[in-house]
Amino acid sequence: MVKNRFKDIPLNRSDLEVEAFISSYLLREGFSPSQHEIARGLGRSRYPIQISIQKLIAHGRVTVLKNGKGLTSVAQVASQVPLPQVPLLGAVAAGRPIEAIERRESIEVPSWMMKPNAYYFVLRVQGESMIEDHIENGDLVLIRQSDSARNGDRVVALINNEATLKRFEKKNGRILLHPANAAMRPIEVGAHQEFRIAGIFSGILRKTDH
């Protein structure tokens, strides 16, 4: 009954993003993500994720595993295409700035998360200043390289060669880096400090277990 009802509803972009997340998670981890992991990974609440999964099942894009305890993407099973490799450059503070970015290793990233003709890198989050944006300590975040940003963008900024992830604001000549944590205060960049934007936040690649 549920399957027939959802089969009549066309898939939208949000549904396809859920499918891509399931597929990339399976390729990366070797097992199915939970609905909670999908919701956190895409920065959404649980209910719309549940609806998307029901629609994907009804349309034959996702199937329930035989043990009933997970999902698998039909497209992922049919085609084992390697994911693009993006450099993992180190750590970024979601708190106070902690260290400069330097190349470490590489990590697979779903191609749907990246725009063509753009350079991306991955950083590991340290700290809890962005938890209200569902970005938590230990998470891997995808960053699109850019030296400019608009007010409200989540950016990786370098202050005196130390990296931090915050929401960017420039107002009346002042630069403020806002946390997504009501318990923390913004960082104001001083006139004597070296400052540049390294990139724009594009998504969360891997959530840590808590």
pTM (2 d.p.): 0.61
| Rounded Cα distance, 20 and 30, in Å | 15
Q: What are phi and psi of 2, to 5 degrees?
A: -65, -40
Q: What is the pLDDT of residue 206?
A: 63
| Rounded Cα distance, 95 and 127, in Å | 5
Q: Show the DSSP H helices in 68-112 as ranges.
A: 74-78
Q: What is the pLDDT of residue 83?
A: 62
Q: What is the pLDDT of residue 98?
A: 43
Instruction: Please name each of the domains of the chain with its CATH number.
Output: 2-77 (1.10.10.10), 85-206 (2.10.109.10)
| 7-28 per-position pLDDT tens digit | 878 888 888 888 888 877 766 6
Q: What is the pLDDT of residue 178?
A: 96
> What is the residue-level pLDDT of the chain in tens, covering all 210 positions?
444 578 878 888 888 888 888 877 766 665 678 888 888 888 888 899 889 888 888 888 777 754 444 565 544 443 444 567 787 777 777 655 544 555 567 887 777 678 878 888 888 898 899 988 888 888 888 899 999 999 999 999 999 888 899 999 998 889 999 999 999 999 999 889 999 999 999 888 765 444
Inter-CA distances, 124 with 140, 156, 165, 168, Å? 5, 12, 10, 19
Residue 168 · residue 157 · CB < 8 Å: yes
Beta bridge partners of 204: 141
Tokens of 192: 């004597």
How far is CA 12 from its chain centroid? Answer: 20
| Rounded Cα distance, 154 and 165, in Å | 7
Active site residues: 129, 166
Closest among 93, 82, 61, 63 to 158, alpha carbons compared? 93
> Residues near 207 by Cβ (< 8 Å), separated by ≥ 6?
37, 40, 41, 136, 139
Q: What is the pLDDT of residue 95?
A: 56
Q: What is the pLDDT of residue 77?
A: 42
Closest among 151, 161, 96, 167 to 126, alpha carbons compared? 96
| 122-151 per-position pLDDT tens digit | 888 988 999 888 888 888 888 999 999 999
Cα within 13 Å of Cα(68), Cβ side:
0
